[in-house]
Copies of this chain bind each other. A is one copy, B any other.
């Protein structure tokens, strides 16, 4: 099996689906000849030509608005928003239109599309090249939200998302775009939406996370077991909406302790939903409060981003608080 990084896996998924299904088309800023500022669409313009891959004018609301129209007409558009930080001009089209199309039309009109966008910090991008807006979309009924953490899942989840009949926000962890490498099967395969993965078994505490925080969580778990003999279970959610409650509860009931890790600001972040739901459904199994290690409630900084982002130190601290509660 070839070893790919996440960008190559995304690129491969797009190629595989575009070969399989004529209706799959790609549009966005710089995605054509240039192949995308992160190279995720490299080679697609050459292989599939100017009738399936387009550079667009600089207008996110135009990209998403017209992609919705393509979906209404029967295509399977995969628009790219160059950075998640720039998705807001399209916010109305996403939350008021794409998300509600099926419901408001009594199920008669659907708009299957996948909005790909790189998210997250750690690349010295400051305010506007580092944001993690997933909670906005999880809070919006009608959207699925998917965030892979490795090449294998990235390809399988993207293919599943493209074949899904609902609008999907597909957020790619740009910090580990190239750093995360792994074996990726040739051809088409899917990783089912809505299924989390226990990426490390453990007994003392459950770390719940997704995307670029998965490697950080795993490193912390390794260190904790080496240095303190603490056994942490690590769950990679992979899909945030709908998320895999069963896997979460199963683990938390076993360990009795949970810490949630994400880059987005803590307040009203996705971790709040997980903590609230775990408490609602597993209170009597909890030996300690569910703690959240998240980005601070500030705009995303530049120089001090490594202090802003959840890091091993902060996860360890939450772990200790939980264990010593």
Contact = CB atoms under 8 A, between A and B. Distances in A.
Given A91-B91, A268-B273, A272-B272, A141 B279 contact: no
Interface residues of A, number: 48
Contacts of A88: 91-92, 95-96
Q: By DSSP majority rule, is chain A's interface helix, strand, loop, or mixed?
A: helix
B91 A298 contact: no
Contacts of A141: 265, 267, 296-299
A288 interface: yes
Interface string A103-140: 11000000000000000000000011000000110111
A288 to B, nearest CB: 7
Q: Considering residues A128, A268, A277, A291, which has the most beta carbons from chain B within 10 angstroms of its beta carbon? A: A268
A267 B127 contact: no
6 contacts: A89-B91, A104-B127, A135-B268, A140-B265, A276-B279, A280-B289
Interface of A: 61, 85, 88-89, 91-92, 95-96, 99-100, 103-104, 127-128, 135-136, 138-142, 241, 264-265, 267-273, 275-277, 279-281, 283, 286, 288-292, 296-299
